[in-house]
Structure 1
Amino acid sequence: MENTSLPSFWANFTVLHENATSPYTSLQKSMHLLSIVIYGIACVLGVAGNGFVIWIAGFKMKKTVNVVWFLNLAVADFVFTFFLPLSIVYTALGFHWPFGRLLCKLNSTMAFLNMFASVFLLTIISMDRCVSVTYPVWSRNYRTKKLACGITLVAWFAAFILSSPYLVFRDTAMNSRNVTSCYNNFALSDSYDIEKTRMLWRARHKAMVVTRFLFGFVLPFTVIVICHGVVAFRMKSRRLTKSSKPFRIIIAVTVSFFLCYFPYHVFSLLEMLKMSANHHLKMVLYLGIPLASSLAFFNSCINPILYVFVGQKKFRKSLVSSFEGAFGEDFVLSLSKRKSRSASQMEIQMA
């Protein structure tokens, strides 16, 4: 991601404290090593797990609306974790970027594309469940795979629009020690000696962080919470106390996304609002940003685990059966049939 999450922030801090005392050096090395370990675990689990989900959902299962949702979610996570080795090498080389400007831009763009696509897909899935509970008969007649594919394309397009500025602002620069950094050049300038240039950098940085916070977290999660509230109320009023596994999967994936990304957004806002003279806040950011970012990375590898194990009572079931249970349409069909039976009984009573 950007300088508030990926190693460029560390590079800036390293330059700022290049003559620091040994405690800073020791802490720096420890956090670098921790970042490499976490990135490596997230990369291996994410590529393997999401690749397996793509193989199962794409080639072994019948294409349904739910499969379309979760398949695209797995693709977003797979693409992101596939690019993680670049960040691992960047950190291991002491924040020297040897891959060129194009990959510098693509690396950050893919990270935010995954974030926006994931939260948009989770929002769509929540809205789909809400509509299925509120209007089950309509859902049974008009909830089609073709419509799901169209909505998914819109979500990907919106995610690309919101992540595309990083294709413009992400840049590389070499310092006097021949170390190349991959950083956010928000002012599109080679020098920040002029106050006007620094003001432009801060304004664009603020706009990017606020936009990401609103469209990548606040607004989607407001919709998700409202939709889940409606679903819970409808299920309780209809005495559907025993929820299906797909519903539990959606709750688990949404909660994991919230827990993984909420700290990242908090630290991004703190980094944007920090005061240069506040040494203690600098240290909090120095420790917290890499850890919050690592937690955000883990969101891309945890979903396949949730698909298999959430709600499983027997772990000896085949993996294909596990995914079929996770992505099944039983939740929608049961509601539709229940609603249809109620409508038929009402018609008989009125006849």
Structure 2
Amino acid sequence: MLDPILSRWLDVQAQALDVGSCDPQEVLPRLAEANVLRIGVPKSQGGLGGDVAGAVEAIADVASHSLAAAFVCWGQRSFIEYLLLSPNERLREQLLPDLLSGKLAGATGLSNAMKFLSGIETLQINAEPTDDGWTFNGRLHWVTNLRKNGFVVAAAVEHNQGGTPFIMAIPDSVAGLQRSRDLELLGLQSSNTAALGLEGVELSRGWLLHEDARKFLPAVRPAFLGLQCGMAIGLARRSLAEVANHLGSSRTVLREELEALRATLDHLVTELKQGLLSGRFTAEPAPLFRLRIALAETAANAVQLELQASGGKAYLTAHGSGFARRWRESAFVPIVTPSLVQLRTELARQAAL
């Protein structure tokens, strides 16, 4: 359960967060004050303890109020997970306290890398070695949680001279890093989503998250995708709750479909948590890909059922703003990287082997 203060704030600001009229700098501090970012983080590292399944539920709880806020939460919590799995203890000690308190924004930046892992895309940042690190050039076209008053982004990097791709943490204060204006999205506008350009960015080995991207990416992919699934789970739960609220004598015909969707969602969530906690998805990513697809489809079906349950009211501005926002949110879930098309392409490739 979310902190009631955060729940009320998200409900009041949900529309503003979607259309961009709420200051995006407010989101992380609100999440941090409610301790959402500490769930699933070991107590020895400043967290509340628990596991990644608890973090998935936390993101789902946020998403049931605002997918824009949940998108930010996913980016922040994913970067925290990268630090927890990184062998760079000094960097973890340096960054983790400010990430957990919401003082520093963490951006995943690994969407391109996850596509690279599946052979869909080449890495977009390259490096030339220097005496104590590297010089970086390239571009990340879509990154969330690039807060204007302080962020650090994770990125996978290709060696210009060959060698193993690696993972870096890149702070916003470094010379040569350029943040674009916020991307003009159809929704989720208060999410600090922008592009990053790197031109002659110099960093030492102290910012290295992992020296081998091909080992690190499969290790973090279950959390990356699992936490992402929290967005679809929360959206589906909220729409199904709205359906239940609208059911009356004239719409009892929808009850059977409501119960079927609830059962499907509960089953998928159970499968997701079991796979995450058992570690199965590290060696066997295909079941996780199928769960991500199924959860996105369930969220879309839930929103469509909400439309039927609401009737004409959903199309009236005065009554349907919440539904209209959830409809836009449901359109985002299938395309956030890795998109459903990319996941289906990878599943087809694996089936052909």
Given the two structures, how large is their TM-score scaled by the length of structure 2? Answer: 0.37
Larger RCO: Structure 1 or Structure 2 (Cα < 8 Å, ≥ 6 residues apart)? Answer: 1
Given the two structures, how large is their TM-score scaled by the length of structure 1? Answer: 0.37
Q: Which structure would you say has the larger Rg?
A: 1
Give the structure with the higher percent strand.
2
